[in-house]
Structure 1
Amino acid sequence: MVDGERLPGAPAREERIVLHVDMDCFYASCERRREPELRGEPVVVGMGYEPGETVGAVATASYEAREYGVESAQAIGAALEKLPRKADEPDNPDAGYYRPVDLDFYQDVGGSVKEILHELGDTVREVSIDEAYLDVTDRTAWGVAEGFARHVKQRIAREVGVPASVGVAPDMSTAKLASDYDKPDGLVVVEPDEVREFLAPIDVADVHGIGPVRARELHEMGIETAGDLASADPYELTDKFGDRGRDLYRRARGEDNRPVEPRGKPKSLSRESAFDGATDDFERVREQVATLAEAVADRATRKDAFYRTIGVKVVTPPYDVHTRAESLPGPVDDPVLVDDVTQDLLGEFAGESVRKVGVRVSNLDFSEREQASLDGFEADDAGNATPSTSLRERRRDDPDGGRDGQISLDEFE
């Protein structure tokens, strides 16, 4: 099931199986992963917020914090009036924990989730740091789709340590509504013959593509639910809203034929791997990075991607993220060079305890492989651009030769 093969006995079918994976209160969940003592407590993560201050806005509020009236985009000052800060009132059982946004950490956690999703999905459409669609039609069958979705949830929880809600349906719109239906940590499966019944009572404002203004206009027409919209006159909707009206009518009926497609070409390719707790065995770390480098280079070759930057990520206890990279004079497709560079960059962390490692190639170029050789590069018999002997010798004689300097990779997400 997890290696891309169809389950034994899975029948041929036309109905797609789409998963919508939505991380629950993602920023707050990341903070709980870092500080397990926060689990079950009200947690507020603030943008532009610093500990002890009252300025900023709420980026995420845990479900426990929401019970006190704290909401996203609310001013921190207003949130503090509803939910005092535990640091200020340590003995108050109705106080909560406030933390500033740590986007680098959240991107690291989100990147680990994405690695799992790309492994389990036939195609993946990343919507944001904490949300994605997966087409798993060739991975499972409707009779066992719930088990597959549960496996996705369990892998995220076990390997990354954050909760996710998953909706399963034959189309993207319904899958998204299903993932929202039983939050947090929910799992809702809507089979093809259940779509209309599932959608019928849902507020029309929640139908994908309907904002507050459109919802008010539909309410004025007497359309309150998705069921009302599905039963409305499509010609009247088209007259009022144009082609958009017919699209909304179809989505309310579960007729969303949009394919699950990646959003443009990737900017980078990466693989990551976590150890069972921190390890002091640096040879084990080197071996793992070599395995990841081979996998990333192979993935780039299969995608016809050249890369100009090769990087590593090393996570040390408790969850300190370190990224290093080397920029090359031109785009290459060279697995040997990926291994050489990553091992070189990794050397900086010898003697460190390591929780997790990653390898990334970035600054991708999807030009035709028949492109002319670059200065300092030569083409092999297959037409692949590879570093010239002089470049390899320069790196061997001078490990810093050919570098633009080590840079921090913000592409690690």
Structure 2
Amino acid sequence: MVEGSLPGVDRERETDERIVCHVDADCFYASCERLREPELRGEPVVVGMGYEPGDTIGAVATASYEAREFGVESAQAISSALERLPRRAALSRDADDHDPDLTREETGFYRPVDMDYYESIASEVREILHECADVVREVSIDEAYLDVTERTAWEVADGFARHVKDRIRREVGVTVSVGVAPTMSAAKIASDFDKPDGLTVVRPGEIREFLAPLEVELIHGVGPVTARELREMGLETAGDVAVTDPEPLIDRFGERGRELYQRARGNDDRQVEPKGEPKSFSRESAFPEPVSEAEPKYDQIETLAGAVADRAQREGALYRTVGVKAVTPPYDVNTRERSLPGPVDDPELVERIARDLFAEFESESVRKVGVRVANLEFAAVDQASLDGWDSQPAPEPDESTSPPVEAGQASLDGWDGQHEAGDALESNTNDASSQPATDGDGGTSPSNGQASLTDFE
């Protein structure tokens, strides 16, 4: 049995159909806020920006399902959203900012976007996904495609997907919806089919039947403008598109029309592929309870340093930067990093630098630690080390090009990567310059303001 496969799965046989999972977190930002503040569970929660002192423009990044019952939607202007859902809590976590007029019998909670915190939670999810699949394509901070063809079989695909969901719920504390299908587009639609906390499996031979009754908006890649034009052509469902003459679609939408026709018929030959070479490798580990003693923290740092250095060796990567992360209560993210004189493959050096960087947190209470190597180079070269340079201490980053990260601040170029615009055929046209990124559960395409975890393993 292949390592990581479910018991009883015989992978010696040939697999004729790919098994693709689309994993999509439910109201991810709101779920993260509930991890930090358990009293928010079951309450209407709006996460956004633009309602802090001095801000005049902003939008909803995500709204919990309870908040959506009041008509609050992702990408909605924050002012109108909060008119529908008056805040029960203050607009910031600072007690000095509390407005007593907003603490009476009101209906919901507002929290400003905290991307560093969300990225930290998402990194734990990403680690589980990479342990459960051989091929992972991260789409945004809260969704990814997995090719698990070599990990499971169609007969037990629902059990495998349930295993992924349960691990994420148990080890991270957030819920995800999973769609399983032979194609990426069908898996994406399936993950949305039974939200929240959904699991929908579309087996080979069932795709056309599954898609046929769905409204045209639900065809992967169809946005509101295209949906309106399809309806003008008399096409209301995916089944209508699947049986129509494709030529009028091609005349109206060009080659995109042909692709819509094929997607509606369940045809999608795209492969689940990672988004190019990673920019960094990282590992994190949380303690059951915050730890103040130095020894267990350093033990974990050494273990994580060994893990990322080993990953770099296996991937044939050299690295120029070593970094550590320390998350202190309640959930303050602190990162430190050091640049090296040149690209190296030197596990002992990674451990030594990681210990040095972590030293300032030696006596602090820490709930999670992490180690990463970054500025990767992939080349077939002999192993490099800094043994010849050890007479000089490794320099601190040049502030003109690589400023150290202040306490409580995680760099979007460090512990996380830039998001991918997604692979929808039609994107939302909201002005990203004035609105925050929405998490994927809100129904809009990620904007440039939303980071992903491409660089995490």
Does residue 85 (structure 1) correspond to residue 87 (structure 2)? The answer is yes
Instruction: Quickly say closer, same or farther: Cα 1:357–1:234, change in 2 above 3 A.
Output: same
- Other-structure match for 1:375: none
Tell me the secondary structure at the aligned position of residue 202 of structure 1: coil
Asked whether the equivalents of residues 199 and 227 of structure 1 are also in contact (C-alpha less than 8 Å), the reply is yes
1:402 corresponds, among 378, 388, 395, to 395
- Other-structure match for 1:377: none
Cα separation, 2, equivalents of 1:102 and 1:49: 14
- Other-structure match for 2:174: 162
- Is 69-78 or 136-145 further displaced after alignment? 69-78
Cα separation, 2, equivalents of 1:20 and 1:9: 21
Letter in 2 for 1:186: G
CA drift of 1:322 comes to 1.1
Asked whether the equivalents of residues 279 and 354 of structure 1 are also in contact (C-alpha less than 8 Å), the reply is yes
- Other-structure match for 2:235: 223
- Other-structure match for 2:294: 282
- Other-structure match for 2:306: 294
- Other-structure match for 1:98: 110
Asked whether the equivalents of residues 50 and 78 of structure 2 are also in contact (C-alpha less than 8 Å), the reply is no
Cα separation, 1, equivalents of 2:132 and 2:391: 41
Superposition TM-score, scaled by structure 2 size? 0.82
Larger-Rg structure: 1
CA drift of 1:53 comes to 7.7
CA drift of 1:279 comes to 2.2
Asked whether the equivalents of residues 3 and 120 of structure 1 are also in contact (C-alpha less than 8 Å), the reply is no
CA drift of 1:346 comes to 1.5
Letter in 2 for 1:58: V
- Other-structure match for 1:359: 371
Letter in 2 for 1:412: W
Instruction: Quickly say closer, same or farther: Cα 1:214–1:75, change in 2 above 3 A.
Output: closer
Tell me the secondary structure at the aligned position of residue 196 of structure 1: helix
Instruction: Quickly say closer, same or farther: Cα 1:240–1:84, change in 2 above 3 A.
Output: closer
Cα separation, 1, equivalents of 2:228 and 2:21: 30
Tell me the secondary structure at the aligned position of residue 300 of structure 2: helix
Asked whether the equivalents of residues 19 and 169 of structure 1 are also in contact (C-alpha less than 8 Å), the reply is yes
Cα separation, 2, equivalents of 1:83 and 1:245: 40
Letter in 2 for 1:8: G
Cα distance per residue 1:270-315 (max 9 Å; x no partner) = 1111121222332122111111111111111121211111001111
2:254 corresponds, among 230, 242, 250, to 242
Instruction: Quickly say closer, same or farther: Cα 1:166–1:9, change in 2 above 3 A.
Output: closer
Letter in 2 for 1:61: A
Cα separation, 2, equivalents of 1:152 and 1:194: 23
In angstroms, what is the RMSD of aligned CA positions?
2.0
Correspondences of 1:102-113 after superposition (within 5 Å): 102-113=114-125
Does residue 273 (structure 1) correspond to residue 272 (structure 2)? The answer is no
Cα distance per residue 1:381-412 (max 9 Å; x no partner) = xx2221143x22333xxxxx422267225221
Cα distance per residue 1:18-49 (max 9 Å; x no partner) = 11111111111111110000000000112233
Cα separation, 2, equivalents of 1:43 and 1:145: 33
- Is 51-60 or 8-17 further displaced after alignment? 51-60
Tell me the secondary structure at the aligned position of residue 206 of structure 2: helix
Does residue 325 (structure 1) correspond to residue 337 (structure 2)? The answer is yes
Cα separation, 2, equivalents of 1:258 and 1:56: 36
Give the share of equivalent positions with the same residue, in percent. Answer: 64
Cα distance per residue 1:65-102 (max 9 Å; x no partner) = 1111111122222122211111344342x510011111
Letter in 2 for 1:263: K
- Other-structure match for 1:203: 215
Asked whether the equivalents of residues 7 and 140 of structure 1 are also in contact (C-alpha less than 8 Å), the reply is no
- Other-structure match for 2:391: 393
- Other-structure match for 2:50: 48
Asked whether the equivalents of residues 51 and 98 of structure 1 are also in contact (C-alpha less than 8 Å), the reply is no
Does residue 412 (structure 1) correspond to residue 415 (structure 2)? The answer is yes
- Is 137-146 or 81-90 further displaced after alignment? 81-90
Does residue 315 (structure 1) correspond to residue 327 (structure 2)? The answer is yes
Letter in 2 for 1:111: S
- Other-structure match for 2:346: 334
1:344 corresponds, among 356, 371, 379, to 356
Does residue 132 (structure 1) correspond to residue 129 (structure 2)? The answer is no
- Is 239-248 or 57-66 further displaced after alignment? 239-248
Tell me the secondary structure at the aligned position of residue 357 of structure 1: strand
Asked whether the equivalents of residues 51 and 100 of structure 1 are also in contact (C-alpha less than 8 Å), the reply is no
- Is 141-150 or 48-57 further displaced after alignment? 48-57
Asked whether the equivalents of residues 47 and 111 of structure 2 are also in contact (C-alpha less than 8 Å), the reply is yes
Cα separation, 1, equivalents of 2:123 and 2:289: 19
Instruction: Quickly say closer, same or farther: Cα 1:166–1:310, change in 2 above 3 A.
Output: same
Correspondences of 1:180-199 after superposition (within 5 Å): 180-199=192-211
- Answer 1 or 2: higher relative contact order, Cα 8 Å, separation at least 6: 2
- Other-structure match for 2:4: 4
- Other-structure match for 2:65: 63
2:317 corresponds, among 305, 319, 324, to 305
Asked whether the equivalents of residues 54 and 76 of structure 1 are also in contact (C-alpha less than 8 Å), the reply is no
Cα separation, 2, equivalents of 1:63 and 1:103: 20
Cα distance per residue 1:206-225 (max 9 Å; x no partner) = 21122222222211221111
Cα separation, 2, equivalents of 1:214 and 1:69: 24
- Is 47-56 or 97-106 further displaced after alignment? 47-56
Tell me the secondary structure at the aligned position of residue 390 of structure 2: helix
CA drift of 1:55 comes to 5.3
1:26 corresponds, among 25, 28, 31, to 28
For structure 1, the residue ranges without an aligned partner over 5 or more in a row are 370-382, 396-400
CA drift of 1:7 comes to 4.4
Cα separation, 1, equivalents of 2:252 and 2:82: 44
Asked whether the equivalents of residues 9 and 152 of structure 2 are also in contact (C-alpha less than 8 Å), the reply is no
Asked whether the equivalents of residues 134 and 260 of structure 1 are also in contact (C-alpha less than 8 Å), the reply is yes
Superposition TM-score, scaled by structure 1 size? 0.90
